[in-house]
Structure 1
Amino acid sequence: MTTSTPERVTSTPERVQSGVGVLDKASLLLGVLESGPASLSRLVADTGLKRPTVHRLVLALERLALIARDTQGRFILGPRLGLMAAEACRDHMVATAEPVLRELCDATGASARLYRRRGDMRICVAEVAVPGSSPARDRVPVGVALPLNAGPVSQVLLAWERPEALHERLRGARFTVTTLAGVRRQGWAQSTGGREHGIAAVAAPVRGAGGRVVAALSISGPVARMSAVPGRLYGSAVIDAALRLSNTAVG
């Protein structure tokens, strides 16, 4: 009677194993890809797993979007991992956002808010409003969902969208691809009356791991106070505050 030789699963002192074989093998594969793209042969060589096992696992992980392929057909970490990481960063970021928003509100005299994107909507997840003086039309309570078709927050959340997906997103929007190119170039977006008449706003991107835009930080207030070119006056302050939140997200 012949017996098969167990597959060797290499490990390092830093790698914690679960004791569940298939999970440990998948973790090994993902660990190799943390350092960059890899061919099937390299995955076999670096993990010590048998080629049929590696092939079976990478196909399964690819179906789950945990692994993807680059333009050369090499395996890379998949988009689902980035989304999960960004989600974890967002939760931590929202928990620590209030002091940043409050300082921005105090420095600019404008209400400060943090927005997340959910599909075709943007949701206000944190707010510090100017007490007493903000007009009703400038109120955006936490939890309110708004469409991604107008305003600087929408522009920021879409400006770094993949080109192949952007065309569909811009249908019905009150801004163009040229507008978004300007947002990418200057690092902030502005509007006067973009969502509500008489209200000016400025927004900047908050980034998570890998530089991915995970949220938008904005300030808003009456045009009479913020001027017709609020980005020139407050763009740097909003970018600085967004950078602080970005450091929180990836820290």
Structure 2
Amino acid sequence: MTTSTPEQALSGVGVLDKASLLLGVLEGGPASLSRLVSDTGLKRPTVHRLVLALERLRLLARDAQGRFILGPRLGLMAMEACRDHLVLSAEPVLGELRDITGASARLYRRRGNMRVCVAEVAAPGDPGPRDRVPVGAALPMNAGPVSQVLLAWERPDELYECLRGAQFNAATLSGVRRQGWAQSIGGREHGIAAVAAPVRGPGGRVMAALSISGPVTEMSSTPGRLYGSAVIDAALRLSGGGLHR
């Protein structure tokens, strides 16, 4: 792994350059304070002061293990930056998919090593805290069917890098390409099932992932078999009728 150093920063504004180094490390996923120090080359007191300030600004947050992650405010900024025709046209498609399946329906875009929820139509009633992914939330790309769909059709050289530390492998992604959807049982949260399919843009390139999720008790232990076709059909509508394979 290449270690970033303060000398690589180019803006000339010291505090911004240092904050940028920290955010750059976290683009690759959660990191402890010690790792942020080692990867940036910054002094520990400086890193500690900056991460606390960035956390107060909601530019950083912490995961369940206390590691630093990109914060919800960055997800909201990313959502605004990529707000386009796809996002604006997603709500009715998500609503119909929710009505068909009874599950929460969401649209995700990839941003570096993160997947950002850019549109959501929640399931009726209270989905419970484990199945809440608000618009603007940024999650790592190392687990779950959404990540698998966003990565399955990537170039082999980029895919090799993305699979480092992932909870799935190349064989898993081969299966996703073959069937056109991905599924998980408890992949992101215990007791939650999910199914995702690719949304394609011009030239057939995967530009987003459409997913549904809900309790395993309602979606069963084989959600892909039950709902894969419905999710693919909805993704095709957002793709403008493009092929999903």
TM-score normalised per structure 2: 0.64
Deviations along 1:53-84, one digit per CA (max 9) or x if unpaired, are xxxxxxxxxxxxxxxxxxxxxxxxxxxxxxxx
Displacement of 1:165: 1.1
Counterpart CA distance in 1 for 2:111 and 2:233 is 24
Q: Is the 8 A contact 2:185 2:193 kept in 1?
A: yes
Q: Paired residue for 1:184?
A: 177
**Corresponding residue for residue 226 of structure 1:** 219
1:194 maps onto 2:187 in alignment: yes
Cα shift at 1:93: 0.8
Match of 2:209 in 1: 216
- Measure the CA separation in 1 of the matches of 2:175 and 2:82: 27
Per-residue deviation, 1:131: 2.7
Which residue of structure 2 aligns with residue 99 of structure 1? 92
Pairing of 1:69-218 with structure 2 (within 5 A): 91-218=84-211
Distance 1:123 1:226 in 2: 23
CA drift at 1:89: 9.3
The CA deviation at 1:91 is 1.0
For residues 215 and 89 of structure 1, the distance between their equivalents in structure 2, rounded to whole angstroms, comes to 11
Conserved 8 A contact 1:93-1:248: no
Report the Cα distance in structure 1 between the residues aligned to 2:217 and 2:132, rounded to whole angstroms: 17
Aligned mates of 2:186, 2:221 — CA distance in 1? 10
SS of the residue aligned with 2:84?
A: helix
Q: Aligned with 1:171: secondary structure?
A: coil
Q: Distance in 2 between matches of 1:203 and 1:116?
A: 12
Q: Encode CA deviations 1:63-117: one digit per residue, 9 max, x unaligned.
A: xxxxxxxxxxxxxxxxxxxxxxxxx997101001000000000000000000000
SS of residue in 2 equivalent to 1:218: strand
- Which residue in 1 is equivalent to 2:77? none
- The equivalent of 1:245 in structure 2 is 238
State the identity as a percent.
Answer: 79
Which residue identity does 2:143 align to in structure 1? A
Q: Any conservation in 1 of the 2:93–2:237 contact (CA below 8 Å)? A: yes
Give the deviation of 1:166 after TM superposition. Answer: 0.8
The answer on whether the counterparts of 2:102 and 2:124 sit within 8 Å (CA) in structure 1 is no
Shift of the 107–133 alpha-carbon distance from structure 1 to 2, 3 Å rule, reads same
RMSD, aligned CA: 1.9
Shift in Å, 1:133: 3.1
SS in 1 for 2:240: helix
SS in 1 for 2:107: strand
For residues 170 and 163 of structure 1, what CA distance do their matches in structure 2 show?
10
Structure 2 residues not aligned, in runs of 5+: 1-80
Normalised by the length of structure 1, the TM-score is 0.63
> What is the distance in 2 between the residues matched to 1:170 and 1:95?
31
Q: Point out where structure 1 has 5 or more consecutive residues left out of the alignment.
A: 1-87
Check whether the contact 1:89–1:208 (CA below 8 A) recurs between aligned residues. no
Rg larger in 1 or in 2?
Answer: 1
Taking a change above 3 Å as real, the CA distance of residues 156 and 90 of structure 1, as seen in their structure-2 partners, is: farther
User: In the alignment, is the contact (CA less than 8 A) between 1:90 and 1:214 conserved in 2?
Assistant: no
| Alpha-carbon distance in 1 for matches of 2:222, 2:241 | 29
SS of the aligned residue for 1:175 comes to coil
Letter in 1 for 2:181: W
